[in-house]
Structures are given as structure tokens and as C-alpha cells.
A = this chain, B = another copy of it.
Amino acid sequence: MSLRYHARQSVSVAQLARYLESALRFAQGAGEVILPYFRGNIEIENKASEGRFDPVTAADRAAEKRIRDEIAVAFPGHGVFGEEHAHQPGDGLTWVVDPIDGTRAFMTGMLHWGVLIALFDGEEPILGVMHQPFTGEYFFGTNTEARYRRGSDQRTLRARQCDGLAHATLASTGAFLNASVEDHDAFHAVRRSVRLTRYGGDCYLYCLLAMGLIDLAIEVDLKPYDIQALTPIIRGAGGVVTTWDGGNPAMGGRIVAAGDSRVHRAAMEMLEKHG
């Protein structure tokens, strides 16, 4: 069962703070489950019945189970929607979880992956946490504020200003090699207009956009759990994130995020013209 929009559940400021604190704790617990598998002897299964390579690690499943168990204790009425286990609808608020976003990076020992946890109110994610347990980093936000924490290094996240594509640094997890011809051409039209393009990154690149180090991110085929946790971080840092046509990004799909609304607008126009 897929995630659906529904009437928005209202949440007080005090409740939001409590949920955020819980989300950070869930992420930490998941990180503790995951870390022993990193660069270790990971059992890899092939989730796709044939053809496309779709790795699922034991770490992924164990971490999602850990998060679900903690949610069941802390908020038994809430729903949970994750990558690995069945969607469990709740009473209006749904935890949207990707235990390891960036599975391929994780599998190859690279560092741009993380635990993603969001809380969805029926229309939007109201909080989001990204946690990288190897580096000990946390990026988290509530749409109005975003913060970074790594040990004693604690700071507010602020996306940077950028006046247009010509000065922008673009990031994308892939190079659109497996995308549709239209999406491929649209992406590369933007790529040719920017100053610098970086590939790879998954959740990490959106966090760096919120940190003011990347100006623009463009991707396709995102799932709700790939983007929901990142949305309140990007928006909390002053950035903009939508679908390519300017819609609500909560259900994933083709996503464009920018630190500055001028870059976001210019990218959307170019994606539409060439797509």
C-alpha cells in the first residue's frame, strides 16, 4: 500500500519539539544497528526478481525494524511508511523512513548515505532528520529552522544565495543515464548551464544544499521516503524544493531543490523547455 495524501493533522509547537527529539533518537538507534555492517560482511540479497540490480542489505532491514519497534513504543497510534516493511497506516501522522538512503554508496564503502526519518501530517513532512552514523553527523529541520550537529560542532543550517544558473553548483546522484530521453536531455541542458556539476550524494547532497555548499539538486524517480526527511531541512535552511513542475514533493518523483529561489525558478524553466 502506498502513501496517500489526506486531511492535514495539526501539531502544536510543543508536540513538534517532542517528535523531533524522538526522531533524532530513532535515527541514532538505527545508526547503531547499521554501523557494524558498514564495510563488513554484508549479506546482499537481490530484491528484484530478475534483471535490474536492487541490493538490499541485512543492515537496511534490521535498522528499519529497530526504528519501527521504537515508534511502536513511543507513538503506538502513528503510522509508519518505510522502504523495507509493509506500510502501517495510523491515526493521522505517519513516520516516513528510509533506514539507509544511498544503499549503493553504503555497499561500496562510500560515505554519502544516511538514515532518513520524516513525520508526515497528511500533506507535508513537518520534520526531517538525516543521520550519518560513520561520521556522527545529524542534519535536521522543521521547515522553519534547520540545524547541524556533530559532537560539539552545532550550528544553524542556511542555504546560500546564488543569482542564477551560471554561478550555480549542481548535484545529482546519477548522471541520468537510465532516465527517459526527455528527462536525460532536460537534466543535461541544465548541467551545461551551471558552473560545476557533482555526481553521487543521495541524501547527503540535499543536506549540503541546506548547508550552503551546493546550489541546485535535480533527480528523478525518488520515492516518498527518499525526499520527505530532506524537505523540512532544505526549507528550514531557506531553500526551495518541489517537483519539476513546481508541485508538492512529498510523494517523490522528479525533484528539483535549490538554495535560492532564483536558481530554482531558472532550473524549472529550463527543465520544462527541454523536457
Contacts and interface: CB of A to CB of B under 8 A. Distances in A.
A53 B196 contact: yes
A20 B87 CA distance: 54
A196 B107 CA distance: 11
Contact of A204 (B39, B110, B199): B110
A55 B167 CA distance: 13
Contacts of A191: 177
B135 A211 contact: no
Contacts of A204: 110-111
Contact of A104 (B112, B135, B177, B196): B196
Interface stretch (A56-64, A168-176, A260-268): A168-176
Interface in A21-64: 39, 53, 55
Nearest to A150: B134
A105 interface: yes
A246 interface: no
A253 interface: no
Interface residues of A, number: 31
Contact of A213 (B109, B135, B200): B109
Given A199-B174, A199-B175, A200-B201, A108 B39 contact: no
A208 interface: yes
A119 to B, nearest CB: 26
Contacts of A112: 110-112, 200
Contacts of A104: 196, 198
A110 B195 contact: no
B175 A109 contact: no
A107, A109, A135 interface centre (most CB from chain B within 10 Å): A109
Contacts of A211: 39, 109
Contact of A208 (B110, B200, B205): B110
A130 B198 CA distance: 22
A229 interface: no
21 contacts: A39-B211, A39-B213, A53-B195, A105-B198, A108-B169, A108-B196, A108-B213, A109-B211, A109-B213, A110-B204, A111-B111, A112-B112, A112-B200, A134-B135, A174-B199, A175-B177, A177-B191, A199-B199, A199-B200, A200-B200, A200-B201
